[in-house]
Amino acid sequence: MARAASISARSRRSSEELPSHTFGGDVEADLAFLLSEGKRNLARFNPNLIERAFRFCVKAHEKDVRLSGEPYYTHPANVALIVMREIPLDDVSVVAALLHDVVEDTPYTLKDVRAEFGSEVADVVDGATKISDVFKSREITQAENYRKLLLSLVNDVRVILVKFADRLHNMRTVDSLPRERQERLARETMEIYAPFAHRFGLGNMKWELEDLSFRILNRDAYDDIQQRVSKSRKELQDTIERFAAPIREKLTENGLKFEINGRPKHLYSIYRKMLAQGKTVDEMYDLMAIRIILDTEDNNECFLAYGIVSEIYRPIPERFKNFISVPKKNGYQSLHTSVISADGKPLEVQIRTRAMHDFAERGVAAHFRYKAGTGSTASWVDASDLEEWATWVRDVFENAGDGAAEELLESFKLNLYQDEIYVFTPKGELRILPKGATPIDFAFDIHSQVGARCIGAKVNGKIVPLDHQLITGDQVSILTSKNQTPHRDWERIAITHKAKTHIRRILNEERRARVVEGKDIWDKRAKKLGLHINDDELERLCVQAKYGGRTDLFIALATGSITPEAAADTIRQMQAPLPQKSDVYSVINGEQFRSAARDKNDGLVLRDARSSSAKIMYSYARCCNPVPGDDVVGIVTIGSGIKVHRASCRNVTDLQDKLQSRIVDLDWSSTSGGEFLAAIKITGDDRPGMLNDITSAVVSVQKTNIRGVTIDAYDALFEGILTVYVVDLAHLRKIFERLHKIRGVKSVERFEE
């Protein structure tokens, strides 16, 4: 039989329905009330155990008084009551709640608790005590605190549930504390406890924690919203009655058993929506949600009810969310839709079964069981997503690097609290990611190697940049290359902790390897040139030469950004004056230079007849990548050869006056050969298959070898950089011709860094 529509501030039993009792007046009356509530709410209930724990608690705290003046035992008694009513698990949880402050605040030890109540109770009390220790430093931004917090809860979820109840009662009675401590507790609650409650599916507790914190942190806004919502309560009640009447009639005709109720959205939720939409309370229409709770085990009846509601009221299509077929990460299931009511205002409707509603109210507690027997341990049931999350927690902190506390904290907050999107692999496999996730996050979610080798992505068949934000329903394909490694920018683009952790780890490993490699290169060059410079002197000279320091120099040497010759030349220049114009050719013709150049091919020759027969030691500038056929010039370096640039290179033309004394004219020799690196910038229309057409066109020209491809798309256009190996300028021009012929390509040109 259908139940009448009703409105309540919370969808659990309202305060009017709960037996009223205030702890602290009479110990025996308090015990009797606690036992009656335990019998009413707990499936596993041992009254003797709870009575012993209550009396132990009263005795342990008999000399303690709260700041409000109440006996201290009233606090653990209220925490136990919250556990009984709002997250009812078992009698062990209630006993742990009664004893959660005993070890921390009284002479009794954990050994005493274990001897009196057994290992199961002692372990939960121990976990709750350790979590309390986390916050003694009053520093909530320490990654180590999160490490302790999470690693304690993944072994027995009752630890964190007791701590939730403890924090909830503290926030309900926060007014007796000094203002500074109120604000600290409120910030801590908003940043840690509310997100955790959300992650564990404890909807009611999350809402109340947020509202209680909101009241402390922004009292003016809280009072304003509360006053306006209270004024409209009668109007909301009337709206529910009018809205529910035709739905109730149709649901009954279809033989459904149900309850319809309405709840005002909690105040902090309204406040956040006001900020996001730039509206006042009076301009907000969706201040409440209607719930249809079906007494059935058949999920299909939820869709039947949705069809009935949609026949009566016009739905808003983009506001439909199916969390039954695709539950949230915390296990939440429900159908959400918004419809236009008879008076033209949008109303949110949530449709769920009674079991789904119980989980929405109690979260992980609804999926909890215990092994039989003394000393039983907690385990997860029908909550593979939470099991997976607990495993993720362990992995996060076991692999977290040092010195990343702030990043860890921010990333973890996002993973706890962000909305979710649902995206698919090319084979249709569902992946759940936080809102705002990018292809990089998707790639690392697939596998760390897929993420590390990602060079691009296609979303719904179109190439997108790696910082593209994915949305629900996207089908994502990751393009990879075995030569690819993560870029430093990726850490900024990624938002999931998994992606950020892997990127940071790979970059750090790569950096360490580059430093070792570069140091070896430098040591060999310095030894060959007879440079005797200690580490401190090298550090000073590197900073003076704008290398940043020894480490940066070694990395530049290892990556080829700086040649050993150029680095040695620069360091020596810090101690010697630059050559004059008259000295340039004597430097080139010197015995030291010719000796160092004997193993080089004669790919270039000087136009000056005096030096045309000398072997020339040279390296090609990476800024402009000259190839045979280009007009080139050389920049003379002391004792280390010539740096070859294209004559049009901006690094040469912009510094023409400063470099004039060191510029020499060069020609390509007839014996120049091999392959040369060239960079091509290409732009055009973004369309499916464009990347494949580009790479095919390049490879078709003399079987050109492609070293790398980087492509970003903006709206309907793309811009890409290709690095290829060519034998000369004619080879490069043929590639240009092929690229120009591709449909949608707008420009092709040489690329200079």
| Residues identified as active-site | 104-105
SS3 (DSSP) at 107: coil
- The distance in angstroms from the start CA to the end CA of the chain is 74
CA gap 426, 460 in Å, rounded: 9
Residues pairing with 58 in the sheet: none
CA gap 510, 224 in Å, rounded: 55
DSSP 365-387: GGGEEE-SSTT--EEE-S-HHHH
Phi, psi for residue 467 in degrees, rounded to 5 = -95, 10
Sign of CA dihedral 87, 91, 92, 98: positive
DSSP 634-677: EEEETTTEEEEEETT-HHHHTTHHHHGGGEEEEEE-TT--S-EE
User: DSSP assignment, residue 572?
Assistant: H
CA gap 267, 218 in Å, rounded: 11
Nearest to 174 by CA among 205, 136, 217, 229: 217
CA gap 81, 626 in Å, rounded: 78
Return the residue matching tokens 């919502």.
229
Non-local CB neighbours of 125 within 8 Å, separated by 6+ positions: 96, 99, 100, 102, 103, 110, 113
235-270: b (≥16 Cβ within 10 Å) or e: ebeebbbebbeebbeebeeeebebbbbbbbbbbbbb
DSSP 412-425: HHHHHH--EEEEE-
Residues pairing with 636 in the sheet: 642
| Position 665, amino acid | D
CA gap 273, 280 in Å, rounded: 10
Residues pairing with 712 in the sheet: 719
Residue 539 near residue 432, CB atoms below 8 Å: no
Which runs of consecutive H residues, i.e. helices, occur in 45-140? 47-60, 74-86, 91-99, 102-105, 110-117, 119-134
The CA dihedral of 604, 606, 609, 614, to the nearest 10 degrees, is -60
CA gap 128, 122 in Å, rounded: 10
Residues pairing with 708 in the sheet: 723
Q: Which long-range contacts (CB under 8 A, 24 or more apart) does 702-711 make?
A: 702/727, 702/731, 702/734, 704/731, 704/735, 705/675, 707/483, 707/677, 708/455, 708/481, 708/483, 708/484, 709/455, 709/456, 709/481, 710/455, 710/456, 711/456, 711/463, 711/465
| Position 503, amino acid | I
Task: Count CA atoms closer than 13 A to 744's CA, side-chain side.
Answer: 14
SS3 (DSSP) at 402: coil
Phi, psi for residue 285 in degrees, rounded to 5 = -95, -40
Cα angle value 384/97/202 (rounded, 5°): 40
Phi, psi for residue 712 in degrees, rounded to 5 = -120, 145
Residues pairing with 338 in the sheet: 348
